[in-house]
Structure 1
Amino acid sequence: MNKLRIDADYLLDQLKALLSIDSPTGYTDNAVRYCSRELERLGLKPELTRRGAIRAVSQGGRREGARAIVSHIDTLGAQVKAIKPNGRLELAPIGHWSARFAEGARVTIYGYENILRGTILPLKASGHTFNEEVDTQPTGWRFVELRIDAQTTSATETTALGVEIGDIVAVDPQPEFLDNGFINSRHLDDKAGVAIMLATIEAFERSGAVAPVDVHWLFTIAEEVGVGASSVIVPEVASLVAVDNGTSAPGQNSSEFGVTICMADQSGPFDYHLTKQLVELCRDNGIDHRKDVFRHYRSDSASALEAGHDIRTALVTFGVDASHGYERIHLDALRSVGELLTRYVTSPIEIARDTKEFSDVRSFTKQPAPEAGDKV
């Protein structure tokens, strides 16, 4: 079979469209609707859970032992924690991210009645007023506030605008796509993963490829708060590959170019056999790749296992510089991850017993071990 080609223009168009839709955890309906419409346009029939996680299935040669690919639609954000006496807003973060990256961000406040704009600022924002204190004040969510773009200098005036505690605050992504392949933006985690999956589906459906087993394309809506793929996986699924960001930083082996395969995160090692298969697919198909271990990281795979799903899991990533901040990636990594996914979903099934939840030990997998007598 000919290699499936990832359409880079389509991938970038999808990433731009996704970045234009605010989707902090808890406010993902519009992004879910967009992804569902695109999946329908690609010829699939998306199904939504009550809260909006998406499952779309490409039928393969067999239903049992299905493969699943997952990325998450939700992003970081904030909520209104309190309305301050000066009319500005105290914030609580959605997901784990530093207030250092919130300072200066333009935002949208989504209330039940009104939608307002504003800016997150440090409490001491003016050097003309506070002199050197603008550089010495602490960093943290207690030391920033949201200035609303409306006439208000009191809690009463802000309340009259329709602002309430708990309102969702979405941070502008401020994307920039450069001709040399670099992409700078907030929320590339995991809008880029969603775009990769859509581009993989587009390549798969365009080619008329047939997978050996059903492929479940999953899009979750609460990964940033630890819920992720806890309730969108059906019993037929035997393996789950998560698509998310890699941690390109000093002390890490991740790269902004090619695929980074995560061998373990804070929840422990990923499945030995599934990870080995992905590494071998990269080697056999000339896909630039490397391995890494993420110490302060979890993904959709962790929530799936914690929910009790007995499935093999793996994590393939595109390297992100300054993750959960103002992030940067490169098109080469996005395209490479898509190429790996196309090879994976069309590759032969290596562990036949995975079609069953239980089987005897005779068909169980093996890992390398020393020959008898080799250990002293």
Structure 2
Amino acid sequence: MTDTLDYIGEQLKALTSIPSPTGFTRAVTDYVMKTLEEMGFAPERSTKGNVLVCLGGEGEPLVLASHVDTLGAMVRSIKDNGRLRPTTLGGHQWSTADGENCTVHTRDGRVYTGVVLNTEPSSHVADEKVETLEKNMEILLDENVDTKDDVASLGIQTGDIIAMDPRAVITKSGYIKSRFLDDKLSASVLLGLARAVAAGEVKLARKVSLLFTVYEEVGHGGAFVPADTCEMISVDMGCVGDDLGCTERMVSICAKDSGGPYNYELVSALADTAKRLSLDYAIDVYPHYGSDVEATLRAGYDIRHGLIGPGVYASHNYERSHMDGVHNTYELLRAYVGE
């Protein structure tokens, strides 16, 4: 298992190093496609950009979905002083990015570094604190630009992508700290599962497909799945916080979120499997959450649906989890799909 956990950690660092705010995901799906192909699978990319791969097996088709799009921002306009006014992509919270380094990606492939700051960040200058609202945020490029024309000469324009630095770290004690653990941590877990299937370490008891989606952060990532799907589990981040049982070292099984209850029988089956294996788990209710599989249901699919994931603290912030949570999530999935 140590080898699998090491592999998942390596994949997390690889995935988080590829900027992929919602709508800018070609590079990260290229990476996922190549990784799966090297295992011997035949992944397909949809017109929309999702990556689907069948791992094998027969009967009761199950889809495990994670998303590789992240929060981020886009250039809304260029200011007269050469700074960029941003607009958010997904449920990005500007208070968590004030002072963060970032990169700006132009449509012709150029990349510029910069920093996210509010319009008056200096405590030695400001008469009063500026609220970290979107209208008060700007991107300062690490270039000698003082006017709109200066910025335009760099090839930067409205609609260009702004990606925050992930700063991924895995400590010796097993803690995982990074932006975008939602959901690149669980995407890494699914790659670890695919690797184990390819190596013959996991024998599938049913047909299992993996779906890596690219528009989850804006609500329609999982809107299309194979027609024969009977069951689908979103493998996303588990919530950690006030009034919740999950910790960063556990696998969370969601019973209900903002979209309503998850399939009762599937939640029970997942919990029974976790209990049988003596995994560290919690069944929780997430008050402000929506998942890929709910987009699948809204699209009209008649499926059983569930949501699990390693516990992640400080969602939509600089997030933290633990390799124990990864272990518990992986083992739950391995047992649920295996013979």
Mark the structure with the bigger radius of gyration: 1
Partners of 2:15 and 2:208 lie apart in 1 by: 23
Which residue matches 2:94?
99
Select which of 161, 171, 174 maps to 2:164.
171
Instruction: Report SS of the residue matched to 1:71.
Output: strand
The answer to whether 1:312 aligns with 2:307 is: no
Which residue matches 2:75?
80
Select which of 288, 313, 316 maps to 1:296.
288
Amino acid corresponding to residue 106 of structure 2 in structure 1: G
- Tell me if structure 2 keeps the 8 A contact 1:267–1:298: yes
The answer to whether 1:129 aligns with 2:125 is: yes
Q: How far 1:203 sits from its partner (Å)? A: 1.9
Moved more, 164-173 or 195-204: 195-204
Partners of 1:342 and 1:268 lie apart in 2 by: 27
Which residue matches 2:34?
37
Partners of 1:198 and 1:58 lie apart in 2 by: 11
Amino acid corresponding to residue 202 of structure 1 in structure 2: R
Instruction: Report SS of the residue matched to 2:306.
Output: strand
Moved more, 218-227 or 120-129: 120-129
Q: How far 1:42 sits from its partner (Å)? A: 1.7
Which residue matches 2:133?
140
For 1:261-300, list aligned pairs within 5 A: 261-300=253-292
Which residue matches 1:61?
58
Partners of 1:121 and 1:38 lie apart in 2 by: 36
Which residue matches 1:364?
none
- Tell me if structure 2 keeps the 8 A contact 1:5–1:339: no
Runs (5+) with no aligned partner, structure 1: 348-376
Select which of 197, 220, 223 maps to 2:216.
223
Instruction: Report SS of the residue matched to 2:35.
Output: helix
Q: How far 1:139 sits from its partner (Å)? A: 2.0
Amino acid corresponding to residue 125 of structure 2 in structure 1: T
Amino acid corresponding to residue 159 of structure 1 in structure 2: A
Superposition TM-score, scaled by structure 2 size: 0.96
- Tell me if structure 1 keeps the 8 A contact 2:106–2:157: yes
Partners of 2:255 and 2:84 lie apart in 1 by: 41
Partners of 1:162 and 1:37 lie apart in 2 by: 30
Q: How far 1:212 sits from its partner (Å)? A: 2.9
The answer to whether 1:90 aligns with 2:67 is: no
Instruction: Report SS of the residue matched to 2:186.
Output: helix
The answer to whether 1:8 aligns with 2:5 is: yes
Runs (5+) with no aligned partner, structure 2: none
Q: How far 1:85 sits from its partner (Å)? A: 1.2
Q: How far 1:306 sits from its partner (Å)? A: 0.7
Partners of 2:272 and 2:165 lie apart in 1 by: 39
Select which of 4, 19, 24 maps to 2:21.
24
- Tell me if structure 2 keeps the 8 A contact 1:173–1:186: yes
Q: How far 1:25 sits from its partner (Å)? A: 0.7
Q: How far 1:234 sits from its partner (Å)? A: 1.1
Superposition TM-score, scaled by structure 1 size: 0.87
- Tell me if structure 1 keeps the 8 A contact 2:202–2:334: no
> What per-residue deviation string (whole Å, max 9, x for no partner) do you get for residues 187-206 of structure 1?
11101010011111222222
The answer to whether 1:197 aligns with 2:156 is: no
- Tell me if structure 2 keeps the 8 A contact 1:101–1:325: yes
Partners of 1:51 and 1:308 lie apart in 2 by: 18
- Tell me if structure 1 keeps the 8 A contact 2:121–2:130: no
- Tell me if structure 2 keeps the 8 A contact 1:6–1:199: no
Amino acid corresponding to residue 14 of structure 2 in structure 1: A
* Sequence identity percentage: 35
Partners of 1:210 and 1:185 lie apart in 2 by: 32
Amino acid corresponding to residue 201 of structure 1 in structure 2: A
Matched positions, count = 338
Two-structure CA RMSD over aligned residues (Å): 1.4
- The runs of at least 4 aligned residues of structure 1 exceeding 4 Å deviation read none
- Tell me if structure 2 keeps the 8 A contact 1:200–1:338: yes
